[in-house]
Amino acid sequence: DTGVSQDPRHKITKRGQNVTFRCDPISEHNRLYWYRQTLGQGPEFLTYFQNEAQLEKSRLLSDRFSAERPKGSFSTLEIQRTEQGDSAMYLCASSPLAGAPGETQYFGPGTRLLVL
Amino acid sequence: AQSVTQLDSQVPVFEEAPVELRCNYSSSVSVYLFWYVQYPNQGLQLLLKYLSGSTLVKGINGFEAEFNKSQTSFHLRKPSVHISDTAEYFCAVSPWMDSSYKLIFGSGTRLLVRP
């Protein structure tokens, strides 16, 4: 396995602009998770997919955020009308099979977003 | 709701000394427990996890952790650290009954190993 990859690794944008991040999970991993990590804090759950279905969204995911996973492969996370409070590291993780209790999640390197 | 507390934001230690990173959790339901490590510019990597059975869990890189249900703790230990262990360490829980199996993380402990 080549691991979970995320693109871009860094993004600087101006307030009000839209940004899109991409995550490529480990091949054949059915579950895909998005987390957000702000400075000095641990990652916080945003949303997750089982194949192409988005099954849960955190209250942290405002209406400006949207995530997709077409065809159950890669996923995108879009933030519209970015705000300075959106500045954070956005982490993607995937887990194999159908998702089992205690199953290991494999994390990508993250996309660091800075909103000016 | 669940929460994870890592009281020590930073732990400095000399090389070859033992170390313990503390983790306490709060939950009204049973949880699985994890420790992840984050090296600079890298993703989180699983060190070890407790699902059931023996309360002493051994992980990679010589780390181990002990689950204490009565104290709701899952402290991470290593008998002798190396410079390369310098990283951020995160404790996390995942509720048994939550079908998302999402992870709830603590705020992390930065381990700083000095020569």
pLDDT tens by residue, chain A, 116 residues: 579 999 999 999 999 999 999 999 999 899 999 999 999 899 999 999 999 999 999 998 889 999 999 988 999 999 999 999 999 999 999 998 665 778 899 999 999 999 99
Token pair listed for B112? 């700083």
Pairing of strands A111-115, A10-13: parallel
| Mean of pLDDT over chain B | 94
User: B interface mutation test: which of A24, A107, A111 has the most B CBs within 10 A?
Assistant: A107
What is the Cβ-side half-sphere exposure of residue A61, based on CA atoms within 13 angstroms? 18
Q: Does A83 touch chain B (CB under 8 A)?
A: no
What are the angstrom distances between the C-alpha of A59 and each of A4, B72, B104, B110?
Answer: 25, 27, 14, 28
Give the pLDDT confidence of B72-110 residue by residue, as tens digits: 999 999 999 999 999 999 999 998 888 888 999 999 999
pLDDT category of residue B63 using cuts at 50, 70 and 90: very high
Chain A residues within an 8 Å CB radius of B105: 42-44
Cα–Cα nearest to B25, from B99, B110, B106, B103 = B106
pLDDT in tens, B35-54: 999 998 888 999 999 998 88
Which residues on B lie below 8 Å from A102 (Cβ)? 32, 49, 51, 94, 101
Give the angle A83-A88-A90 at the CA atoms, nearest 5°. Answer: 115
How close, in Å, is residue A83 to chain B by CA atoms? 23
- Cβ(A33)–Cβ(A102) below 8 Å: no
3-state secondary structure of A72: helix
